[in-house]
A and B are shown apart, each in its own frame.
Chain A
Protein backbone atom coordinates (compact mmCIF):
# COMPACT_ATOMS: atom_id res chain seq x y z
CA UNK A 1 0.00 0.00 0.00
CA UNK A 2 2.77 2.39 0.93
CA UNK A 3 4.29 1.84 -2.46
CA UNK A 4 1.11 2.69 -4.33
CA UNK A 5 0.75 6.05 -2.60
CA UNK A 6 4.18 7.18 -1.40
CA UNK A 7 7.18 7.41 -3.68
CA UNK A 8 9.63 6.09 -1.17
CA UNK A 9 9.59 5.28 2.50
CA UNK A 10 6.55 6.39 4.47
CA UNK A 11 7.88 9.18 6.66
CA UNK A 12 6.70 12.70 7.61
CA UNK A 13 6.60 14.87 4.50
CA UNK A 14 7.27 12.02 2.11
CA UNK A 15 6.66 12.55 -1.61
CA UNK A 16 3.56 10.97 -3.18
CA UNK A 17 3.23 9.27 -6.54
CA UNK A 18 0.39 11.57 -7.56
CA UNK A 19 -0.16 14.43 -5.12
CA UNK A 20 -3.17 16.74 -5.53
CA UNK A 21 -2.09 19.14 -2.79
CA UNK A 22 1.47 20.05 -1.87
CA UNK A 23 2.16 22.41 1.04
CA UNK A 24 5.48 23.91 2.05
CA UNK A 25 6.57 25.69 5.22
CA UNK A 26 3.07 26.61 6.34
CA UNK A 27 3.36 28.40 9.68
CA UNK A 28 0.61 29.97 11.76
CA UNK A 29 1.26 31.58 15.11
CA UNK A 30 -1.29 32.87 17.60
CA UNK A 31 0.69 35.24 19.78
CA UNK A 32 3.50 33.12 21.11
CA UNK A 33 1.83 29.83 20.25
CA UNK A 34 2.81 28.11 17.01
CA UNK A 35 -0.41 26.34 16.08
CA UNK A 36 0.77 25.04 12.71
CA UNK A 37 4.30 24.47 11.49
CA UNK A 38 4.18 22.12 8.52
CA UNK A 39 7.49 21.82 6.64
CA UNK A 40 6.22 19.75 3.77
CA UNK A 41 3.20 17.60 3.14
CA UNK A 42 1.61 16.02 0.09
CA UNK A 43 -1.95 14.75 -0.12
CA UNK A 44 -2.41 11.85 -2.54
CA UNK A 45 -4.95 12.33 -5.34
CA UNK A 46 -8.02 10.14 -5.43
CA UNK A 47 -7.33 8.59 -2.05
CA UNK A 48 -8.90 8.89 1.38
CA UNK A 49 -6.43 10.52 3.73
CA UNK A 50 -7.00 10.86 7.46
CA UNK A 51 -5.45 13.71 9.39
CA UNK A 52 -5.24 12.67 13.03
CA UNK A 53 -3.65 14.00 16.17
CA UNK A 54 -4.59 15.00 19.70
CA UNK A 55 -6.80 18.00 20.39
CA UNK A 56 -4.97 21.24 19.82
CA UNK A 57 -2.55 19.63 17.36
CA UNK A 58 -3.44 22.26 14.77
CA UNK A 59 -5.59 20.18 12.41
CA UNK A 60 -8.47 22.64 12.20
CA UNK A 61 -6.10 25.58 11.88
CA UNK A 62 -4.30 23.77 9.05
CA UNK A 63 -7.67 23.24 7.33
CA UNK A 64 -8.48 26.93 7.76
CA UNK A 65 -5.16 27.95 6.25
CA UNK A 66 -5.36 25.62 3.27
CA UNK A 67 -8.90 26.76 2.42
CA UNK A 68 -8.25 30.50 2.81
CA UNK A 69 -10.28 30.96 5.99
CA UNK A 70 -7.17 31.99 7.88
CA UNK A 71 -3.90 33.60 6.79
CA UNK A 72 -0.58 31.93 7.59
CA UNK A 73 2.47 33.82 8.80
CA UNK A 74 4.32 32.15 5.95
CA UNK A 75 4.02 29.28 3.55
CA UNK A 76 2.72 28.32 0.18
CA UNK A 77 0.70 25.47 -1.20
CA UNK A 78 -0.35 24.22 -4.57
CA UNK A 79 -3.67 22.53 -5.26
CA UNK A 80 -4.16 20.80 -8.58
CA UNK A 81 -1.37 22.87 -10.12
CA UNK A 82 -2.65 26.19 -8.75
CA UNK A 83 -0.79 28.27 -6.20
CA UNK A 84 -3.31 28.94 -3.43
CA UNK A 85 -1.54 31.12 -0.85
CA UNK A 86 -3.45 34.42 -0.56
CA UNK A 87 -6.41 33.14 -2.57
CA UNK A 88 -9.69 34.04 -0.81
CA UNK A 89 -11.78 31.21 0.59
CA UNK A 90 -14.62 31.42 -1.93
CA UNK A 91 -12.16 31.10 -4.81
CA UNK A 92 -10.53 28.09 -3.18
CA UNK A 93 -13.96 26.47 -3.08
CA UNK A 94 -14.56 27.35 -6.73
CA UNK A 95 -11.29 25.67 -7.63
CA UNK A 96 -12.73 22.44 -6.25
CA UNK A 97 -11.29 22.32 -2.73
CA UNK A 98 -14.33 22.37 -0.45
CA UNK A 99 -14.35 21.96 3.31
CA UNK A 100 -16.78 21.42 6.15
CA UNK A 101 -16.42 22.87 9.62
CA UNK A 102 -15.74 21.19 12.94
CA UNK A 103 -18.38 23.44 14.49
CA UNK A 104 -21.20 22.75 12.10
CA UNK A 105 -22.45 25.65 10.04
CA UNK A 106 -25.94 24.72 9.00
CA UNK A 107 -27.83 27.77 7.76
CA UNK A 108 -30.50 27.49 10.44
CA UNK A 109 -33.27 29.63 8.99
CA UNK A 110 -33.01 28.14 5.53
CA UNK A 111 -34.76 24.87 4.81
CA UNK A 112 -32.70 21.75 4.33
CA UNK A 113 -33.44 21.93 0.59
CA UNK A 114 -32.37 25.57 0.37
CA UNK A 115 -29.16 24.71 2.20
CA UNK A 116 -28.49 22.07 -0.42
CA UNK A 117 -29.34 24.23 -3.41
CA UNK A 118 -26.97 26.91 -2.19
CA UNK A 119 -24.05 24.55 -2.74
CA UNK A 120 -24.50 24.27 -6.50
CA UNK A 121 -21.93 26.20 -8.53
CA UNK A 122 -22.37 28.67 -11.41
CA UNK A 123 -26.02 29.40 -10.73
CA UNK A 124 -27.51 31.78 -13.27
CA UNK A 125 -30.05 33.07 -10.77
CA UNK A 126 -27.35 34.17 -8.33
CA UNK A 127 -26.63 37.12 -10.57
CA UNK A 128 -28.66 40.07 -9.24
CA UNK A 129 -29.71 41.14 -12.72
CA UNK A 130 -30.87 37.67 -13.71
CA UNK A 131 -32.52 36.94 -10.35
CA UNK A 132 -35.62 38.93 -11.28
CA UNK A 133 -36.29 36.80 -14.33
CA UNK A 134 -37.34 33.36 -13.26
CA UNK A 135 -37.37 32.06 -16.82
CA UNK A 136 -33.59 32.54 -16.93
CA UNK A 137 -32.85 30.20 -14.03
CA UNK A 138 -35.94 28.00 -13.74
CA UNK A 139 -34.50 25.11 -15.73
CA UNK A 140 -31.21 25.10 -13.87
CA UNK A 141 -33.10 25.24 -10.59
CA UNK A 142 -34.82 21.98 -11.53
CA UNK A 143 -31.47 20.33 -12.19
CA UNK A 144 -30.19 21.67 -8.87
CA UNK A 145 -33.24 20.34 -7.06
CA UNK A 146 -32.83 16.90 -8.60
CA UNK A 147 -29.17 16.78 -7.62
CA UNK A 148 -30.10 17.87 -4.11
CA UNK A 149 -32.84 15.27 -3.85
CA UNK A 150 -30.47 12.46 -4.81
CA UNK A 151 -27.93 13.51 -2.21
CA UNK A 152 -30.61 13.97 0.46
CA UNK A 153 -31.80 10.43 -0.13
CA UNK A 154 -28.24 9.16 0.13
CA UNK A 155 -27.80 10.97 3.42
CA UNK A 156 -31.27 9.98 4.68
CA UNK A 157 -32.36 13.60 5.01
CA UNK A 158 -35.01 13.53 2.29
CA UNK A 159 -37.88 13.39 4.78
CA UNK A 160 -36.57 16.62 6.31
CA UNK A 161 -36.07 18.59 3.15
CA UNK A 162 -38.74 21.21 3.80
CA UNK A 163 -37.83 21.71 7.47
CA UNK A 164 -35.64 24.53 8.70
CA UNK A 165 -32.08 23.33 9.22
CA UNK A 166 -32.45 24.64 12.78
CA UNK A 167 -34.77 21.73 13.54
CA UNK A 168 -32.16 19.07 12.76
CA UNK A 169 -30.18 17.20 15.38
CA UNK A 170 -26.46 17.83 15.70
CA UNK A 171 -25.61 14.70 13.76
CA UNK A 172 -28.10 15.51 11.02
CA UNK A 173 -26.55 18.93 10.66
CA UNK A 174 -23.16 17.31 10.14
CA UNK A 175 -24.69 15.18 7.43
CA UNK A 176 -26.38 18.19 5.85
CA UNK A 177 -23.14 20.11 5.81
CA UNK A 178 -21.35 17.27 4.11
CA UNK A 179 -24.14 16.77 1.57
CA UNK A 180 -24.19 20.51 0.91
CA UNK A 181 -20.45 20.52 0.30
CA UNK A 182 -20.95 17.69 -2.19
CA UNK A 183 -23.47 19.86 -4.07
CA UNK A 184 -20.46 21.92 -5.20
CA UNK A 185 -19.09 18.83 -6.99
CA UNK A 186 -15.67 19.22 -5.42
CA UNK A 187 -12.42 17.69 -6.63
CA UNK A 188 -11.27 17.38 -3.06
CA UNK A 189 -13.45 17.41 0.02
CA UNK A 190 -12.04 18.23 3.44
CA UNK A 191 -14.13 17.05 6.36
CA UNK A 192 -13.39 18.34 9.86
CA UNK A 193 -14.62 15.65 12.27
CA UNK A 194 -17.52 14.43 10.09
CA UNK A 195 -18.57 11.74 12.57
CA UNK A 196 -18.73 13.84 15.71
CA UNK A 197 -22.27 13.64 17.08
CA UNK A 198 -23.58 11.48 14.26
CA UNK A 199 -25.96 8.73 15.33
CA UNK A 200 -23.97 5.45 15.48
CA UNK A 201 -26.71 3.82 13.38
CA UNK A 202 -25.74 6.19 10.60
CA UNK A 203 -21.97 5.97 10.85
CA UNK A 204 -21.66 2.80 8.80
CA UNK A 205 -23.63 4.28 5.92
CA UNK A 206 -21.64 7.49 6.17
CA UNK A 207 -18.43 5.49 5.91
CA UNK A 208 -19.83 3.86 2.80
CA UNK A 209 -20.67 7.26 1.34
CA UNK A 210 -17.14 8.42 1.86
CA UNK A 211 -15.82 5.30 0.15
CA UNK A 212 -18.23 5.99 -2.70
CA UNK A 213 -16.79 9.47 -3.08
CA UNK A 214 -13.41 7.91 -3.69
CA UNK A 215 -14.95 5.62 -6.28
CA UNK A 216 -16.29 8.70 -8.03
CA UNK A 217 -12.73 9.96 -8.24
CA UNK A 218 -12.86 12.47 -5.41
CA UNK A 219 -9.98 13.09 -3.06
CA UNK A 220 -11.00 13.01 0.60
CA UNK A 221 -9.06 14.52 3.49
CA UNK A 222 -10.70 14.18 6.86
CA UNK A 223 -9.95 14.91 10.50
CA UNK A 224 -11.25 12.28 12.85
CA UNK A 225 -10.75 11.05 16.37
CA UNK A 226 -12.57 7.81 15.81
CA UNK A 227 -9.75 5.34 15.16
CA UNK A 228 -12.19 2.73 13.99
CA UNK A 229 -13.23 5.01 11.17
CA UNK A 230 -9.65 5.95 10.39
CA UNK A 231 -8.60 2.34 10.08
CA UNK A 232 -11.73 1.31 8.26
CA UNK A 233 -11.77 3.75 5.38
CA UNK A 234 -8.51 5.63 5.04
CA UNK A 235 -5.81 4.72 2.54
CA UNK A 236 -3.26 6.96 4.15
CA UNK A 237 -2.88 8.57 7.56
CA UNK A 238 -1.06 11.77 8.45
CA UNK A 239 -0.42 12.46 12.13
CA UNK A 240 -0.05 15.95 13.56
CA UNK A 241 1.14 16.92 17.01
CA UNK A 242 1.86 20.40 18.29
CA UNK A 243 1.51 21.85 14.82
CA UNK A 244 3.97 19.51 13.13
CA UNK A 245 3.54 16.42 11.04
CA UNK A 246 5.06 13.64 13.12
CA UNK A 247 4.17 10.54 11.15
CA UNK A 248 2.65 9.32 7.90
CA UNK A 249 1.79 5.98 6.46
CA UNK A 250 -0.87 3.41 5.76
CA UNK A 251 -3.29 3.12 8.70
CA UNK A 252 -2.12 -0.20 10.13
CA UNK A 253 1.51 0.82 10.20
CA UNK A 254 0.90 4.33 11.52
CA UNK A 255 -1.01 2.99 14.51
CA UNK A 256 2.05 1.00 15.52
CA UNK A 257 4.42 3.93 15.07
CA UNK A 258 6.01 4.91 18.41
CA UNK A 259 5.88 8.61 17.47
CA UNK A 260 2.11 8.35 17.10
CA UNK A 261 1.53 6.48 20.31
CA UNK A 262 3.76 9.04 21.95
CA UNK A 263 1.85 11.96 20.47
CA UNK A 264 -1.42 10.63 21.79
CA UNK A 265 -0.23 9.26 25.08
CA UNK A 266 1.97 12.29 25.65
CA UNK A 267 -1.07 14.49 25.53
CA UNK A 268 -3.71 12.16 26.94
CA UNK A 269 -2.69 9.25 29.07
CA UNK A 270 -6.16 7.85 29.25
CA UNK A 271 -6.79 7.53 25.54
CA UNK A 272 -6.60 4.18 23.85
CA UNK A 273 -5.64 4.24 20.21
CA UNK A 274 -7.25 0.94 19.45
CA UNK A 275 -10.65 1.69 20.91
CA UNK A 276 -13.66 3.31 19.29
CA UNK A 277 -13.59 5.95 21.99
CA UNK A 278 -12.65 9.44 20.97
CA UNK A 279 -9.04 10.03 21.81
CA UNK A 280 -8.28 13.25 23.58
CA UNK A 281 -11.77 14.56 24.15
Chain B
Protein backbone atom coordinates (compact mmCIF):
# COMPACT_ATOMS: atom_id res chain seq x y z
CA UNK B 1 0.00 0.00 0.00
CA UNK B 2 2.81 2.36 0.94
CA UNK B 3 4.53 1.41 -2.28
CA UNK B 4 1.47 2.34 -4.34
CA UNK B 5 1.32 5.75 -2.72
CA UNK B 6 5.02 6.52 -3.08
CA UNK B 7 4.98 5.37 -6.70
CA UNK B 8 2.06 7.66 -7.41
CA UNK B 9 3.52 10.66 -5.59
CA UNK B 10 6.85 10.07 -7.28
CA UNK B 11 5.06 10.86 -10.56
CA UNK B 12 4.61 14.45 -9.40
CA UNK B 13 8.16 15.39 -10.29
CA UNK B 14 9.14 13.03 -13.09
CA UNK B 15 10.60 14.45 -16.31
CA UNK B 16 7.63 12.82 -18.05
CA UNK B 17 5.19 14.90 -15.99
CA UNK B 18 7.24 18.00 -16.79
CA UNK B 19 7.31 17.18 -20.50
CA UNK B 20 3.54 16.73 -20.65
CA UNK B 21 3.08 19.96 -18.69
CA UNK B 22 5.25 21.83 -21.21
CA UNK B 23 3.38 20.37 -24.15
CA UNK B 24 0.08 21.26 -22.49
CA UNK B 25 1.23 24.85 -21.89
CA UNK B 26 1.91 25.03 -25.62
CA UNK B 27 -1.54 23.65 -26.32
CA UNK B 28 -3.04 26.19 -23.90
CA UNK B 29 -1.50 28.89 -26.08
CA UNK B 30 -3.07 27.29 -29.15
CA UNK B 31 -6.49 26.27 -27.92
CA UNK B 32 -7.07 27.93 -24.58
CA UNK B 33 -5.99 31.41 -25.58
CA UNK B 34 -6.21 31.55 -29.38
CA UNK B 35 -8.92 28.96 -30.08
CA UNK B 36 -6.73 27.00 -32.51
CA UNK B 37 -7.69 23.33 -32.70
CA UNK B 38 -4.28 21.66 -32.78
CA UNK B 39 -4.68 17.91 -32.70
CA UNK B 40 -1.06 17.32 -33.57
CA UNK B 41 0.90 18.42 -30.54
CA UNK B 42 2.59 14.99 -30.80
CA UNK B 43 4.08 16.14 -34.11
CA UNK B 44 5.78 19.09 -32.42
CA UNK B 45 7.13 16.77 -29.73
CA UNK B 46 8.32 14.36 -32.38
CA UNK B 47 10.14 17.19 -34.15
CA UNK B 48 11.83 18.17 -30.90
CA UNK B 49 12.82 14.62 -30.00
CA UNK B 50 14.17 13.70 -33.42
CA UNK B 51 15.78 17.01 -34.36
CA UNK B 52 17.54 17.14 -31.00
CA UNK B 53 18.64 13.50 -31.04
CA UNK B 54 19.77 13.56 -34.67
CA UNK B 55 21.70 16.81 -34.18
CA UNK B 56 23.56 15.68 -31.08
CA UNK B 57 24.29 12.28 -32.63
CA UNK B 58 25.71 14.16 -35.63
CA UNK B 59 28.16 15.75 -33.21
CA UNK B 60 26.52 19.13 -32.68
CA UNK B 61 26.49 20.70 -29.22
CA UNK B 62 23.41 21.05 -27.06
CA UNK B 63 22.66 24.67 -27.94
CA UNK B 64 22.90 24.18 -31.73
CA UNK B 65 20.77 21.04 -31.35
CA UNK B 66 18.08 22.98 -29.51
CA UNK B 67 18.18 25.81 -32.05
CA UNK B 68 17.83 23.34 -34.91
CA UNK B 69 14.86 21.77 -33.14
CA UNK B 70 13.21 25.18 -32.82
CA UNK B 71 13.89 25.97 -36.47
CA UNK B 72 12.33 22.66 -37.50
CA UNK B 73 9.35 23.43 -35.25
CA UNK B 74 8.83 26.82 -36.92
CA UNK B 75 8.99 25.19 -40.35
CA UNK B 76 6.34 22.72 -39.23
CA UNK B 77 4.12 25.59 -38.07
CA UNK B 78 4.36 27.23 -41.47
CA UNK B 79 3.58 23.95 -43.21
CA UNK B 80 0.55 23.35 -41.00
CA UNK B 81 -0.57 26.97 -40.76
CA UNK B 82 -0.19 28.48 -44.21
CA UNK B 83 -2.86 26.35 -45.88
CA UNK B 84 -5.27 26.26 -42.93
CA UNK B 85 -5.20 29.40 -40.82
CA UNK B 86 -7.21 31.43 -43.31
CA UNK B 87 -9.91 28.76 -43.28
CA UNK B 88 -12.42 27.65 -40.66
CA UNK B 89 -10.90 26.31 -37.45
CA UNK B 90 -11.67 22.65 -38.17
CA UNK B 91 -9.26 22.58 -41.13
CA UNK B 92 -6.32 23.02 -38.80
CA UNK B 93 -7.61 20.14 -36.67
CA UNK B 94 -7.71 17.75 -39.61
CA UNK B 95 -4.36 18.82 -41.00
CA UNK B 96 -2.55 18.62 -37.66
CA UNK B 97 -3.84 15.16 -36.78
CA UNK B 98 -2.93 13.88 -40.23
CA UNK B 99 0.48 15.54 -40.25
CA UNK B 100 1.36 14.04 -36.88
CA UNK B 101 0.57 10.53 -38.10
CA UNK B 102 2.38 11.03 -41.40
CA UNK B 103 5.49 12.19 -39.58
CA UNK B 104 5.40 9.24 -37.23
CA UNK B 105 5.19 6.84 -40.17
CA UNK B 106 8.01 8.60 -41.97
CA UNK B 107 10.48 8.48 -39.08
CA UNK B 108 9.71 4.83 -38.41
CA UNK B 109 10.22 3.56 -41.97
CA UNK B 110 13.14 1.17 -42.25
CA UNK B 111 14.37 3.06 -45.30
CA UNK B 112 15.42 5.83 -42.94
CA UNK B 113 17.21 3.52 -40.50
CA UNK B 114 20.49 5.43 -40.88
CA UNK B 115 18.89 8.78 -40.17
CA UNK B 116 16.03 8.25 -37.74
CA UNK B 117 16.79 4.76 -36.53
CA UNK B 118 13.62 3.52 -38.20
CA UNK B 119 11.34 1.45 -35.94
CA UNK B 120 14.11 1.14 -33.31
CA UNK B 121 14.46 4.87 -32.87
CA UNK B 122 17.52 6.61 -31.47
CA UNK B 123 19.51 6.41 -28.26
CA UNK B 124 22.76 7.63 -26.78
CA UNK B 125 22.06 11.21 -27.83
CA UNK B 126 21.85 12.64 -24.32
CA UNK B 127 25.48 12.04 -23.33
CA UNK B 128 26.39 15.71 -23.73
CA UNK B 129 23.47 16.65 -21.56
CA UNK B 130 24.50 14.36 -18.72
CA UNK B 131 28.15 15.30 -19.23
CA UNK B 132 27.42 18.81 -17.99
CA UNK B 133 25.55 17.53 -14.93
CA UNK B 134 26.77 19.74 -12.05
CA UNK B 135 25.53 17.32 -9.37
CA UNK B 136 28.08 14.83 -8.04
CA UNK B 137 27.18 11.15 -8.07
CA UNK B 138 24.98 10.05 -5.19
CA UNK B 139 21.48 9.60 -3.83
CA UNK B 140 19.23 12.64 -3.66
CA UNK B 141 15.80 13.47 -2.33
CA UNK B 142 13.65 11.68 0.22
CA UNK B 143 10.62 9.41 0.60
CA UNK B 144 8.70 9.22 -2.67
CA UNK B 145 11.22 11.41 -4.40
CA UNK B 146 14.55 9.68 -4.28
CA UNK B 147 16.78 9.75 -7.36
CA UNK B 148 20.35 9.52 -8.53
CA UNK B 149 22.38 12.49 -9.79
CA UNK B 150 21.15 11.98 -13.37
CA UNK B 151 17.55 11.94 -12.23
CA UNK B 152 18.11 15.12 -10.24
CA UNK B 153 19.78 16.90 -13.14
CA UNK B 154 17.06 16.09 -15.65
CA UNK B 155 14.34 17.02 -13.13
CA UNK B 156 15.94 20.35 -12.33
CA UNK B 157 16.27 21.22 -16.01
CA UNK B 158 12.81 19.95 -16.93
CA UNK B 159 10.97 21.80 -14.18
CA UNK B 160 12.99 24.96 -14.68
CA UNK B 161 11.84 24.92 -18.29
CA UNK B 162 8.24 24.39 -17.19
CA UNK B 163 8.42 27.38 -14.85
CA UNK B 164 10.08 29.59 -17.47
CA UNK B 165 7.52 28.54 -20.09
CA UNK B 166 4.62 29.24 -17.72
CA UNK B 167 5.97 32.67 -16.81
CA UNK B 168 6.60 33.44 -20.46
CA UNK B 169 3.08 32.49 -21.54
CA UNK B 170 1.54 34.34 -18.60
CA UNK B 171 3.44 37.50 -19.57
CA UNK B 172 2.51 37.19 -23.22
CA UNK B 173 -1.14 36.64 -22.45
CA UNK B 174 -1.32 39.70 -20.20
CA UNK B 175 0.20 41.92 -22.88
CA UNK B 176 -1.62 43.73 -25.70
CA UNK B 177 -0.46 40.84 -27.89
CA UNK B 178 -2.36 38.45 -25.64
CA UNK B 179 -5.41 40.68 -25.88
CA UNK B 180 -5.44 40.28 -29.66
CA UNK B 181 -4.93 36.54 -29.28
CA UNK B 182 -7.86 36.18 -26.87
CA UNK B 183 -9.95 38.42 -29.09
CA UNK B 184 -9.33 36.03 -31.98
CA UNK B 185 -10.52 33.17 -29.81
CA UNK B 186 -13.77 35.06 -29.19
CA UNK B 187 -14.47 36.37 -32.69
CA UNK B 188 -11.99 36.64 -35.53
CA UNK B 189 -14.06 39.00 -37.61
CA UNK B 190 -14.47 41.48 -34.78
CA UNK B 191 -10.69 41.56 -34.39
CA UNK B 192 -10.24 42.01 -38.14
CA UNK B 193 -12.69 44.89 -38.11
CA UNK B 194 -10.36 46.60 -35.64
CA UNK B 195 -7.43 46.48 -38.05
CA UNK B 196 -5.54 43.44 -36.72
CA UNK B 197 -3.95 40.94 -39.08
CA UNK B 198 -5.64 37.87 -37.64
CA UNK B 199 -3.84 35.42 -39.90
CA UNK B 200 -0.47 36.66 -38.76
CA UNK B 201 -1.42 36.46 -35.07
CA UNK B 202 -2.74 32.93 -35.46
CA UNK B 203 0.53 31.96 -37.08
CA UNK B 204 2.49 33.56 -34.23
CA UNK B 205 0.45 31.62 -31.69
CA UNK B 206 0.89 28.38 -33.62
CA UNK B 207 4.64 28.94 -33.72
CA UNK B 208 4.96 29.79 -30.01
CA UNK B 209 2.78 26.93 -28.78
CA UNK B 210 4.51 24.60 -31.22
CA UNK B 211 7.95 25.57 -29.92
CA UNK B 212 6.81 24.75 -26.41
CA UNK B 213 5.67 21.36 -27.73
CA UNK B 214 9.08 20.89 -29.33
CA UNK B 215 10.81 21.74 -26.07
CA UNK B 216 8.52 19.21 -24.40
CA UNK B 217 9.65 16.61 -26.93
CA UNK B 218 13.29 17.20 -26.00
CA UNK B 219 12.57 16.98 -22.28
CA UNK B 220 10.49 13.87 -22.90
CA UNK B 221 13.36 11.94 -24.51
CA UNK B 222 16.24 13.13 -22.30
CA UNK B 223 15.85 10.27 -19.81
CA UNK B 224 14.97 7.64 -22.43
CA UNK B 225 15.40 6.55 -26.04
CA UNK B 226 13.55 8.16 -28.94
CA UNK B 227 10.93 5.68 -30.04
CA UNK B 228 8.51 6.49 -32.86
CA UNK B 229 5.73 4.59 -31.10
CA UNK B 230 5.69 7.19 -28.34
CA UNK B 231 4.48 9.91 -30.68
CA UNK B 232 1.10 8.51 -31.70
CA UNK B 233 -2.28 10.21 -31.44
CA UNK B 234 -2.52 8.87 -27.88
CA UNK B 235 0.16 11.35 -26.85
CA UNK B 236 -1.80 14.25 -28.32
CA UNK B 237 -4.97 13.18 -26.57
CA UNK B 238 -3.26 12.78 -23.19
CA UNK B 239 -2.07 16.35 -23.57
CA UNK B 240 -5.60 17.43 -24.38
CA UNK B 241 -6.85 15.57 -21.31
CA UNK B 242 -4.28 17.33 -19.15
CA UNK B 243 -5.20 20.70 -20.62
CA UNK B 244 -8.92 20.25 -20.06
CA UNK B 245 -8.29 18.81 -16.62
CA UNK B 246 -6.35 21.84 -15.45
CA UNK B 247 -8.27 24.48 -17.39
CA UNK B 248 -7.63 25.37 -21.02
CA UNK B 249 -7.40 29.12 -20.59
CA UNK B 250 -4.99 29.08 -17.66
CA UNK B 251 -1.23 28.85 -17.25
CA UNK B 252 -1.10 26.95 -13.99
CA UNK B 253 -3.75 24.48 -15.17
CA UNK B 254 -1.56 22.49 -17.57
CA UNK B 255 1.10 22.01 -14.88
CA UNK B 256 -1.26 20.86 -12.16
CA UNK B 257 -3.25 18.95 -14.78
CA UNK B 258 -0.18 16.99 -15.77
CA UNK B 259 0.63 16.21 -12.14
CA UNK B 260 -2.90 15.04 -11.38
CA UNK B 261 -3.04 13.01 -14.57
CA UNK B 262 0.14 11.06 -13.87
CA UNK B 263 -0.53 10.61 -10.17
CA UNK B 264 -4.04 9.31 -10.86
CA UNK B 265 -2.82 7.02 -13.60
CA UNK B 266 -0.19 5.53 -11.32
CA UNK B 267 -2.62 5.30 -8.42
CA UNK B 268 -5.34 3.50 -10.39
CA UNK B 269 -2.71 1.20 -11.83
CA UNK B 270 -1.34 0.37 -8.38
CA UNK B 271 -4.73 -0.05 -6.75
CA UNK B 272 -6.19 -2.21 -9.52
CA UNK B 273 -3.07 -4.31 -9.57
CA UNK B 274 -3.11 -4.80 -5.80
CA UNK B 275 -6.83 -5.58 -5.92
CA UNK B 276 -6.33 -8.28 -8.53
CA UNK B 277 -3.32 -9.74 -6.71
CA UNK B 278 -5.14 -9.99 -3.40
CA UNK B 279 -8.27 -11.43 -4.99
CA UNK B 280 -10.53 -8.49 -4.11
CA UNK B 281 -11.06 -7.70 -7.77
CA UNK B 282 -11.94 -10.88 -9.59
CA UNK B 283 -13.53 -9.74 -12.83
CA UNK B 284 -10.34 -8.48 -14.50
CA UNK B 285 -6.84 -9.86 -14.95
CA UNK B 286 -3.44 -8.18 -14.51
CA UNK B 287 -2.92 -7.57 -18.21
CA UNK B 288 -6.27 -5.83 -18.60
CA UNK B 289 -5.35 -3.17 -16.06
CA UNK B 290 -3.42 -1.02 -18.54
CA UNK B 291 -6.49 -0.65 -20.72
CA UNK B 292 -8.96 -0.23 -17.89
CA UNK B 293 -7.13 2.64 -16.26
CA UNK B 294 -7.36 4.58 -19.51
CA UNK B 295 -11.07 3.84 -19.64
CA UNK B 296 -11.27 5.35 -16.16
CA UNK B 297 -9.33 8.38 -17.42
CA UNK B 298 -11.86 8.74 -20.23
CA UNK B 299 -14.73 8.49 -17.79
CA UNK B 300 -13.09 11.03 -15.52
CA UNK B 301 -12.64 13.42 -18.42
CA UNK B 302 -16.29 13.08 -19.39
CA UNK B 303 -17.38 13.83 -15.84
CA UNK B 304 -15.03 16.78 -15.76
CA UNK B 305 -16.36 18.29 -18.97
CA UNK B 306 -19.92 17.83 -17.72
CA UNK B 307 -19.48 19.11 -14.16
CA UNK B 308 -16.50 21.44 -14.36
CA UNK B 309 -16.06 22.47 -17.99
CA UNK B 310 -13.67 25.31 -17.17
CA UNK B 311 -11.16 22.83 -15.67
CA UNK B 312 -9.86 22.80 -12.13
CA UNK B 313 -8.19 26.20 -12.37
CA UNK B 314 -10.42 27.88 -14.93
CA UNK B 315 -12.48 30.90 -14.04
CA UNK B 316 -16.12 29.97 -13.62
CA UNK B 317 -17.18 32.99 -15.64
CA UNK B 318 -14.66 32.18 -18.29
CA UNK B 319 -16.51 28.97 -19.10
CA UNK B 320 -14.90 27.55 -22.10
CA UNK B 321 -17.16 24.92 -23.55
CA UNK B 322 -20.28 26.95 -24.11
CA UNK B 323 -18.84 28.87 -27.04
Contact = CB atoms under 8 A, between A and B. Distances in A.
A118 B183 contact: yes
B4 interface: no
A119 interface: yes
Given A98-B194, A184-B195, A107 B182 contact: yes
Contacts of B183: 107, 110, 118
A141 B177 contact: no
Given A90-B197, A93-B192, A128-B172, 10 more contacts: A69-B193, A90-B193, A107-B183, A110-B182, A114-B179, A118-B191, A118-B196, A131-B177, A137-B175, A166-B317
Given A123-B176, A132-B168, A132-B171, A118 B189 contact: no
Given A127-B177, A132-B171, A105 B182 contact: no
Contact of B189 (A105, A114, A164, A180): A105
Given A110-B179, A110-B186, A125-B177, A89 B172 contact: no
State which size class the interface on A falls in: 35 or more
A153 B5 CA distance: 58
Interface residues of B, number: 30
A137 B171 CA distance: 13
Interface of B: 168, 171-172, 175-180, 182-183, 185-187, 189-198, 204, 208, 249, 317-318, 323
A119 to B, nearest CB: 5
A184 B194 contact: yes
Contacts of A164: 317-318
Contact of A126 (B171, B176, B249, B318): B176
A155 interface: no
A180 B187 CA distance: 14
A134 B180 CA distance: 16
Contacts of B317: 109, 164, 166
Contacts of B185: 109
Interface string A24-61: 00000000000000000000000000000000000000
A152 interface: no
Residue among B186, B197, B249 with the most chain A CB within 10 A? B186
A185 to B, nearest CB: 10
A174 interface: no
B194 A109 contact: no
Contact of A101 (B176, B193, B196): B193
A125 B190 contact: no
Contacts of B197: 90
A164 B317 CA distance: 8
Contacts of B192: 69, 88-90, 93
A118 B201 CA distance: 14
A67 B194 CA distance: 11
B187 A107 contact: yes
B194 A180 contact: yes
Nearest to B318: A109
B194 A93 contact: yes
A108 interface: yes
B177 A128 contact: yes
Contact of A90 (B178, B196, B204, B323): B196
B180 A89 contact: no
Given A126-B180, A128-B177, A141-B176, A107 B186 contact: yes
A98 B182 CA distance: 21
Given A126-B180, A132-B172, A121 B186 contact: no
A128 B145 CA distance: 39
A99 B176 contact: no
A110 B204 CA distance: 20
Contacts of A121: 195
Contact of B176 (A69, A100, A137, A181): A137
Contacts of A166: 317
A94 B196 CA distance: 8
A117 interface: yes
B189 A134 contact: no
Contacts of B172: 128, 131-132
Given A69-B192, A128-B204, A117 B171 contact: no
A140 to B, nearest CB: 8
Nearest to B194: A119
A105 B195 contact: no
Contacts of A114: 179, 182
Contacts of A90: 192-198
B204 A93 contact: no
Contacts of A100: 193
Given A98-B194, A101-B189, A137-B175, A118 B180 contact: yes
B186 A109 contact: yes
Contacts of B189: 69, 89, 101, 105
B195 A131 contact: no
B126 to A, nearest CB: 30
B178 to A, nearest CB: 7
Given A114-B179, A126-B180, A127-B177, A181 B194 contact: yes
A105 B193 contact: yes
A110 B175 CA distance: 13
